[in-house]
Amino acid sequence: MRHIDRDLDELKRSILLMGAMVEESINKAITALVDRREELAAEVIGTDCLIDQHELLIEEECLKLLALHNLVATDLRFVVTVMKVGNDLERMGDLSENIAERASFLARHPPIAETQDLGRIADIVRTIVRRSLDALVALDTDLARQVCGADDEVDGLHRATFVQVQEIMRRDPATIARALQTLSCSRQLERIADLATNIAEDVVFLVEGESIRHRYRG
Amino acid sequence: MIGSRLHGRFFVGAAIALGAGVGATAWLGPWLGGAVALLICAASSYALARPLARRLAELRSLAGPLDADAAGDDIGGLSRAILGMVGRLEDQITDIARDRDKLLTILSGMSEGVIAVDREERVLHMNEAAGKILDVVPDVCAGKPIWEVTRVHEIPAAIKGTIDTGAKHSAEITLVRRPRDQVIVLHAAPLRDQDATTGAVVVLEVLTELRQLEEIRRDFVANVSHELKTPITAIRGFAETLVDDHQMVPATRERFHQKILNQALRLSTLVSDLLTLARLESSEGVLDAEPVDLARIVTASVAALLAAAEARQIRVETSFPATRVVVNGDPSALNQLVTNLLDNAIKYTPERGRVWVRVSSDAKHAYVAVQDTGVGIDPKHQKRIFERFYRIDKARSRELGGTGLGLSIVKHICLAHGGEVALDSITGRGTTFTVKLPRLEATESESLALDPALVESTDRKL
């Protein structure tokens, strides 16, 4: 085993660990939101700084590898991809923390009328995040391409939620604060799906050396 | 890794494997140690069996002609000795292979998840239970680093810690899942060859159900204590006042006595409900069974609660099929079942409402349906309404004299009779509880009784 291989292996381990942390954070934030569990929201808010620290570590590792080794082809693409994925994951962690903060607020106040689509968005986002990370672990481009197509549904549902929330606010102005928080959650979830799609696109780039970004955007 | 190291030691392999297993057992505690021993045996015997068998076949083909050519002389003796040894070795290999299969069968049959990894954290073996817990296919995971296999990051972390320090690790992990969180306990221990750590083994145990049961039990104890304490506090308060206040006017004194009596009655109802539940739970299915006519049970229950219904101007209507509907059961338990349902229906129906009790049957089952025009039960409460002490509105239930155990008793009586109870409710409109019990016999006019809708109803206004 080359010395660089060991380092690259360690980097892969590191980025997958970060992926695992972010996925867990998103799962918790979503569950806190949908099931109104304030204690889970607090856990998410407490762990986001760990994710941020981890991103810094990964970035440092990547820069060190780029500086010390004359990387080419797959190895170079791998390091570049890890930097990008690390960045996306960190953003996802932040969004997850945002959702958790809103979930915590919503859990402490009486529920507003059901916005059916929010639960559905949450389910799809959870799946997209899981699959994009699965694609990254297995370097599975087929799976990655499936993920790229899946966030259209989230966009559609987000728009539907927007309309529902507007209607709730119009019916009862007392719900405005809660309705806005709900809408914001829907927006953050949609952003998470976008970032997960980025990761899937990066996987295709890593394996095939060709960028497929800006192709799936309708 | 273990395999290649043991490669050269085929004669003592099994003994070493067992020895290592026993050693690990003493060190790790019987349970985890057992798993380690199994794994080491499986891995080493697997490595032993294949190349050895091939070499023995070669040896046999070499020694065979030697034996035929020079029978009787020294070389013949040598070749016979070799052949004899080959035979014994082959027997041993068969034994080892059989042991290996046995061990793998045991591993795959375990309900706990077992994962073994080498020093580089690559999966050596993963049993089916582990695959199920982590939602992966075990065969696909073999040879991959554990941190690629699962994103439950506590597992790779425990393994790394174990390999680096050589010390065992235990942790309880809560996986946030919907609809219910999963609780898993993880034990990681190093795999050792002499003094060097050659990998680690992780045992995963799912505790979700256990935790759930613990929670139910805790809630139950808390509920019982609370329910018992409330009337006792009241009785004590009134009694103390009576003892202390000698100048109390007789009317007040009388009222206090009455209150003490009421609270004592409530306490006694609660305790007898608890005893009924305990009896039902400990003797499910072994009630004193005899043929019981459901119409008679319903008539008796309705008669007993008629006064309560009339007091609130609630009309109770009953309907029975033309044929007798007979079940095999305990009459007093069935009576309590119908009474509890009817009592609830009357309590939760506003004044001047209506309550229906219908008995019907099909070929195999008897049904008792109790329908009211009451407040209804919100869908989110419907699943839990049969739990002990589960109340939708605590204050109202107590005010109406409920113990919070009535429906739980209904459910258990149904279960004890091999039946079930279902509910159908619309908030604000009313609720229908339907009890389904196995029917004892198909009566004479079976054709009439087949379809409950065809059954002639005999409405009676009470």
* B12-23 per-position pLDDT tens digit: 333 333 334 434
Structure tokens at B102: 């046995």
Cβ atoms within 10 A of the Cβ of B84, count? Answer: 10
Instruction: Specify whether the CB–CB gap between B152 and B134 falls below 8 A.
Output: yes
Interface test with A, best of B121, B150, B151 (most A CBs within 10 A): B151
Q: List all residues of chain A from 126 to 155 with a beta carbon under 8 Å from chain B.
A: 133, 137-138
Query: B182-193 and B290-293: which strand pairing?
Result: unpaired
Do residue B153 and residue A13 have CB atoms under 8 angstroms apart? no
| Smallest CA–CA distance from B156 into chain A, residue | A17
Strands (E), chain A: none
Structure tokens at B208: 């979700």
Give the torsion through C-alpha atoms of A51, A52, A56, A62, to 10 deg: 50
Q: Taking Cα atoms as reference points, which of B329, B333, B351, B324 lies closest to residue B455?
A: B324
Based on the number of CB atoms within 10 Å of its own CB, is B90 exposed (0-12), middle (13-18) or buried (19 or more)? Answer: middle
Chain B positions in Cβ-Cβ contact with residue A27 (cut-off 8 Å): 176-177
B231 at A interface, C-beta within 8 A: no
Query: B315-319 and B354-361: which strand pairing?
Result: parallel
Return all residues near A187 (Cβ < 8 A) that are at least 6 apart: A158
The C-alpha atoms of residue A203 and residue A148 are separated, in whole angstroms, by 11
Is the sign of the CA dihedral A178, A181, A187, A188 positive or negative?
A: negative
Report which DSSP code applies to B456.
P
Do residue B178 and residue A16 have CB atoms under 8 angstroms apart? no
Chain B positions in Cβ-Cβ contact with residue A138 (cut-off 8 Å): 148
The C-alpha atoms of residue A129 and residue A145 are separated, in whole angstroms, by 13
Say what the pLDDT of residue B457 is. Answer: 43
The DSSP line for A44-102 is HHHHHHHHHHHHHHHHHHHHHHHHHS---HHHHHHHHHHHHHHHHHHHHHHHHHHHHHH
Cβ atoms within 10 A of the Cβ of A178, count? Answer: 20
For chain B, the farthest-separated pair of C-alpha atoms sits apart, in whole angstroms, at 127
The C-alpha atoms of residue B449 and residue B444 are separated, in whole angstroms, by 9
Say what the pLDDT of residue B454 is. Answer: 40
Q: Taking Cα atoms as reference points, which of B228, B334, B323, B248 lies closest to residue B289?
A: B334
Chain B positions in Cβ-Cβ contact with residue A24 (cut-off 8 Å): 151, 153, 176
- Given 3-state DSSP classes, what are the helix, strand and coil percentages for chain B, each rounded to the nearest 5? 55, 20, 25
Chain A positions in Cβ-Cβ contact with residue B156 (cut-off 8 Å): 13, 17
Do residue B153 and residue A34 have CB atoms under 8 angstroms apart? no
Do residue B153 and residue A21 have CB atoms under 8 angstroms apart? yes
Instruction: Specify whether the CB–CB gap between B327 and B292 falls below 8 A.
Output: yes
Instruction: Specify whether the CB–CB gap between B419 and B437 falls below 8 A.
Output: yes
Interface test with B, best of A31, A96, A124, A129 (most B CBs within 10 A): A31
Q: Which of B145, B147, B178 sits opposite A31 (nearest CB)?
A: B178
Q: Which of B147, B176, B178 sits opposite A13 (nearest CB)?
A: B147
| Smallest CA–CA distance from A131 into chain B, residue | B151
Report which DSSP code applies to B111.
S
The C-alpha atoms of residue A180 and residue B390 are separated, in whole angstroms, by 35
Interface test with A, best of B122, B176, B378 (most A CBs within 10 A): B176
| Smallest CA–CA distance from B157 into chain A, residue | A17
The C-alpha atoms of residue B28 and residue A7 are separated, in whole angstroms, by 34
Say what the pLDDT of residue B96 is. Answer: 92
| Smallest CA–CA distance from B149 into chain A, residue | A137
Enumerate residue ranges in chain B where pLDDT < 70.
1-50, 63-73, 283-287, 394-395, 398-399, 441-462
Based on the number of CB atoms within 10 Å of its own CB, is B453 exposed (0-12), middle (13-18) or buried (19 or more)? Answer: exposed
Q: Which of A13, A19, A27 sits opposite B176 (nearest CB)?
A: A27
Say what the pLDDT of residue B356 is. Answer: 92
The C-alpha atoms of residue A138 and residue B41 are separated, in whole angstroms, by 31
- Bridge partners (DSSP) of residue B356 are B317, B371
Say what the pLDDT of residue B34 is. Answer: 55
Chain A positions in Cβ-Cβ contact with residue B176 (cut-off 8 Å): 24, 27-28, 31, 40
B145 at A interface, C-beta within 8 A: yes
Q: List all residues of chain B from 321 to 340 with a beta carbon under 8 Å from chain A.
A: none
The three-class DSSP label of residue B430 is strand
Residue B348 has phi, psi (to 5 degrees) of -95, 10
Sheet containing B169-175: order of strands: B123-126, B113-118, B196-206, B182-193, B169-175
Do residue B176 and residue A31 have CB atoms under 8 angstroms apart? yes
Q: What single letter denotes the amino acid at residue B286?
A: V
| Chain B nearest C-alpha distance from A86 (Å) | 16
The three-class DSSP label of residue B62 is helix
| Smallest CA–CA distance from A41 into chain B, residue | B176
Q: Inter-axis angle of helices B74-109 and B13-28, to 10 degrees?
A: 30
Structure tokens at B237: 């308060």
> How far apart, in Å, do the first and last CA atoms of chain B sit?
84
Interface test with B, best of A18, A38, A132, A137 (most B CBs within 10 A): A137
Q: What single letter denotes the amino acid at residue B180?
A: R
pLDDT along chain A (218 residues), means of 10: 79 87 88 84 86 89 86 84 90 91 85 74 85 85 84 83 84 84 87 89 84 58
Q: List all residues of chain B from 152 to 181 with a beta carbon under 8 Å from chain A.
A: 152-153, 156, 176-178
A42 at B interface, C-beta within 8 A: no
